[in-house]
Amino acid sequence: MTALVALGAAQIIAAVLAAPASAPVDAVGAVSINHTPAAVKNWAITEFGSNDKTVLVWGIRGVLLVCAVVIGVLALRRLWLGMAGLVVFAAVGAAAALAQPGAAASYALPSLVGAGAAALALRYFCGLASRELARPRASWPPAVTAPGQSTPRRQSVSDGPGDVAGPAEQLASEGGLAKDDVSAVPASGPVWRPVGPEPVWGGGSPDRRKFLATSAAVAAGSLVAYGAGSWLASSRNVSAAERAIRLPRPAVPAPPLPAGADLRIPGLSSFITPNASFYRVDTALVLPEIAPANWQLRVHGMVRRELTLSFDDLIKRPLIEDYITLCCVSNPVGGPYIGNAKWLGASLRSVLEEAGVMRGASQLLATSSDGFTSGTPIETAMDGRDSLLAVAMNDAPLPVAHGFPVRQVVPGLYGYVSACKWLVDIEVTTYAAAQGYWVPRGWSAQAPIKTESRIDVPSGQNPVSVGSRVAIAGEAWAQHKGIDAVEVRVGNGPWQQAQLAAVPDLDTWRQWVYWWDVDVSPGNYLIEARATDKTGYTQTSLQEPPEPNGATGYPSVSVNVVS
């Protein structure tokens, strides 16, 4: 009960402050993300994907409820022990909230107010529970002391004169029961008769009824408060500002999609990944919501001229539009953490040229509003590829989940070193002087995307028939190098050339298909694929995990061939 009260009160205060990250569960979750060992994070991403944060939040809530039970038990024994537990939880929540990037002193209020409300509830309910536990319990039949005896005994129905009824009839008469309800009463022998007031069956004591009724009311009120706080926080989001943005036409439009860029094979991912389906892997437990009017980008460090750009400043610059495929380094071989979109943004290279990068600088340390950092090689960002400060995705302003209002997009690099969302700061520095978020956690400082491929169809879930024609299709990618060939192998057979779809440029994935005439005997067959990029490199068969700089190996699927 105290946990629900605390969470409800804290959520309301966090919403009033317009600081959802200050709510205790979210604050503790953010600190947990930042201090969780890399191996545990990698496991969570592998097992839960984009649902890893949901699992974390519910895990924190579960731990909180278990601890609340312990505090309640302690408080029944000694109220001060329960209060001490609440003080500890308030301190943990406040400290976690104050540790958030850009936190103000007010960020401690949700935890403190929540703990205060929980303390009042704990004191009240412990008082009710203590009175209920201390209330004398009526015994039935009650013990009585007969004349001349020193110890109480139970009085039987045969102790008094005029006992002419049998045991069952006598018990039924004196206990207010029907004769049919006393079949378990022995047919002979003494039957105990209550002396004095009889207990009341059902209903419980007034304190007990009050405890249960008040508990139900407080629990319901706390849940309503929690929901109201969440709704109030979401009602203040930047969706309206996002919809109101009118972006200028690009100075450099994306090349037109060539005919046949999308093979439109059932089960094959579309060439353009819809925004709602685009993968999301980041460290933000609460999505940062920044109004464009409040956004600024600071470019500083090893530059001749420090820059501070507003959102209006940024979109007044010549905007570039391009199709670019992004991939997460956590993507396993053949995995889902990759997507292709049309991006619109200002040239990162032109901003750096305006700032004037000093000799010896090697890294752009980009910082998100939630404190995440990524380190991009300056050489890559300035070599002529379309490195963007992106403001739009697939002809719409960036969704909040993908970095609204501005994110970084650099083709050819894994996202953790190139695609900082909710971008607010770029420090021009060196790799010796600073490290991005994932580097001290065991990942490589520089991470060019590896030449890889994926099989989308067949899925292997359904059998294929001998004599049928089956599409083996997927995507291959080698951003800023380009895909030159894809080969497919069925069983231990030879490698066969797949048909390649057209692409607009080097920075996107490329669809492919191999039409398999199923002329084999019934049985299970392993289908594999491999890609070759335009530099002549063919992806390796060596199976390696994602860490420290991207997975390798042939994607494969097992199919069952039936007659």
- Of 389, 419, 441, the one marking the end of a domain is 441
In the numeric block, the tokens 């390696």 are attached to 544
* Domain contains 146: no
pLDDT of res. 182: 43
Beta-sheet pairing, 407-409 with 296-301: unpaired
CB 340 within 8 A of CB 324: yes
Same domain, 183 and 102: no
DSSP 101: T
Could you give the CA distance from residue 556 to residue 454 in angstroms, rounded to a whole number?
8
* Domain contains 383: yes
Angle made by CA atoms 377, 379, 384, in degrees to the nearest 5:
120
Angle made by CA atoms 65, 67, 70, in degrees to the nearest 5:
115
35 CB burial (10 A radius; 0-12, 13-18, 19+):
exposed
Could you give the CA distance from residue 178 to residue 176 in angstroms, rounded to a whole number?
7
- What's the CATH code of the domain at 497? 2.60.40.650
Same domain, 404 and 527: no
Counted domains in the chain: 4
> Taking residues 313-339, what's their average pLDDT?
96
Residue 261's Cβ-side half-sphere holds a number of Cα atoms within 13 Å equal to 17
Same domain, 424 and 457: no
Same domain, 371 and 407: yes
Same domain, 171 and 40: no
CB 290 within 8 A of CB 404: yes
pLDDT of res. 136: 61
* Domain contains 266: no
Residue 3's Cβ-side half-sphere holds a number of Cα atoms within 13 Å equal to 14
Is the sign of the CA dihedral 401, 405, 410, 411 positive or negative? positive
CB 370 within 8 A of CB 364: no
pLDDT digits 0-9 by tens, 288-303: 889 999 999 999 999 9
- 3-class DSSP state for residue 546? coil
- Of 419, 441, 463, the one marking the end of a domain is 441
* Domain contains 244: no
H-type helices in 194-347, by residue range?
206-235, 239-244, 311-316
* Domain contains 408: yes
> Taking residues 24-46, what's their average pLDDT?
74
Could you give the CA distance from residue 265 to residue 474 in angstroms, rounded to a whole number?
9
Angle made by CA atoms 227, 230, 231, in degrees to the nearest 5:
85
Q: Which residues contact 264 (CB under 8 A, 6 or more apart)?
A: none
- Of 441, 474, 502, the one marking the end of a domain is 441
Same domain, 326 and 466: no
CB 509 within 8 A of CB 500: no
pLDDT of res. 165: 43
- What's the CATH code of the domain at 351? 3.90.420.10
For residue 500, what is the enclosing H or E element? Answer: strand 499-500
Could you give the CA distance from residue 422 to residue 131 in angstroms, rounded to a whole number?
55
When mean pLDDT is compared over 103-107, 196-200, 397-401, the highest value belongs to 397-401
pLDDT of res. 289: 86
Could you give the CA distance from residue 112 to residue 86 in angstroms, rounded to a whole number?
10
> Taking residues 152-180, what's their average pLDDT?
44
Same domain, 14 and 83: yes
Look at 523 and 134; give whichever has higher pLDDT. 523
Could you give the CA distance from residue 303 to residue 309 in angstroms, rounded to a whole number?
15
Same domain, 350 and 435: yes
> Taking residues 364-388, what's their average pLDDT?
96
CB 89 within 8 A of CB 97: no
pLDDT of res. 232: 64
End-to-end Cα separation, the chain, in angstroms: 62
Same domain, 84 and 187: no
Of 248, 340, 358, which is closest to residue 301 (Cα–Cα)? 358
Same domain, 320 and 290: yes
Same domain, 426 and 494: no
| Least confident segment among 107-121, 130-144, 360-374, 413-427 | 130-144
pLDDT digits 0-9 by tens, 460-505: 999 999 999 999 999 999 999 999 999 999 998 999 999 999 999 9
Same domain, 308 and 388: yes
Q: What is the mean pLDDT of the chain?
A: 84
* Domain contains 545: yes
* Domain contains 391: yes
* Domain contains 242: no
> Does the pLDDT at position 48 exceed 90?
no
Residues spanned by the domain of 420: 275-441
